[in-house]
Structure 1
């Protein structure tokens, strides 16, 4: 029986995640008595929410790691049966104002990525949601080199926001991190500033990890070549 008690240690969390490997989302959801959607068109975050509940995450919607007492963030990553990531990985919402004095060291994104429990899920579109299979989880913290790349990307993207260039940021910016619109619909708007310092309304943005980077992590930890 899967428990939803908050894990008391990192080892307990990892063991609980490893116990899910090989199970389908349907099997997990039924044990938790959670309704399974037919598709994820309107419930894109359902897999992550399911695993948060099963693993005992306690942060909710607060801007802190999912397991705050352990300093661990949970990230599900949809992959195909060959271990290829199917999409970029959302990390957190990017602030578009109030960035004076912001540094990588005090940034929300650094806090989120300091220690991540990755849970791959075989999620090809042709596979019904209930039949998608949880893969082998792994715990990752950025190496010195990885953190340097993340910090450089964050600085580049943040500088562009501060200089009023948010509308000119595209996927080519950043080596492993990218900034792109993150909104439930096109009506959701937030305040930003243009290069003349004038406020205007734009779509909220989010920080995402590029698939080339998450592919490297999967290759390293799951030994997929």
Structure 2
């Protein structure tokens, strides 16, 4: 099934609202896609399914999923109480050439300008095909949220620039955290080490903390 990219925010929202209450299995059947037994070797499968149904156009490019609309799509697994089950990946963190890098120019800033959140009831005991798609939420960060994100980003980037990347833990940051992002521990990249020397370390990514995304998903 060939799906054309939405041309307006309202069209995108209508498409997302139309499948609220469906299971992933029902959506996969509609798109003639096979449902994996588990997501161990199919990480991101649910998000890709939603991207296809909604007509996302960016693919793997470092741009919003719906380029013309400037909207990023994020599927988020939740429990029966509406709480996210994991942190949300935003963007890879640069670990070298940080001079002059500003918040307003960062991929994190651009990725978080406008997000279409689609919660999925995805507790571990629920089979992949039976996981339920929730009502979409179109979110633009308010001034307070943006200030918190900027503060965390600037503090983390400063520490990376000072050669402290390996001492940054997931506890740093109020709403945004830095964590290793690699398929396995053999995947290494260059970073700034103590004293400015180059070191090899795991790639890192910026993630939104669970409490922050829970706040976004709560009914207002």
With structure 2 as the length reference, what TM-score do the two structures score? 0.98
User: Counterpart of 2:213 in 1: which secondary structure?
Assistant: helix
For 1:33 and 1:93, the matched residues in 2 are separated by 32
For 2:2 and 2:212, the matched residues in 1 are separated by 32
The residue aligned with 1:217 is 216
125-134 vs 193-202, greater mean Cα deviation: 193-202
Residue pair 1:3, 1:54 contacting (<8 A) in 2 also:
no
Q: How does 1:90-129 map to 2 (within 5 A)?
A: 90-129=89-128
For 1:112 and 1:5, the matched residues in 2 are separated by 22
Residue pair 1:76, 1:121 contacting (<8 A) in 2 also:
yes
The size of the alignment, in residue pairs, is: 220
Q: How does 1:49-128 map to 2 (within 5 A)?
A: 49-128=48-127
Measure how far apart 1:81 and its partner are: 1.1
Q: Report the RMSD for the aligned CA atoms in angstroms.
A: 1.1
1:154 aligns with 2:153: yes
For 2:35 and 2:3, the matched residues in 1 are separated by 18
For 2:151 and 2:3, the matched residues in 1 are separated by 38
Give the direction of change, closer, same or farther, for the CA distance of 1:153–1:87 in structure 2 (3 Å limit).
Answer: same
**Runs ≥4 residues deviating over 4 A:** none
For 1:144 and 1:18, the matched residues in 2 are separated by 27
Measure how far apart 1:11 and its partner are: 0.5
Gap runs ≥5 in structure 2: none
The residue aligned with 1:44 is 43
The residue aligned with 1:10 is 9
The residue aligned with 2:185 is 186
For 1:186 and 1:53, the matched residues in 2 are separated by 31
The residue aligned with 1:177 is 176
For 2:38 and 2:115, the matched residues in 1 are separated by 26
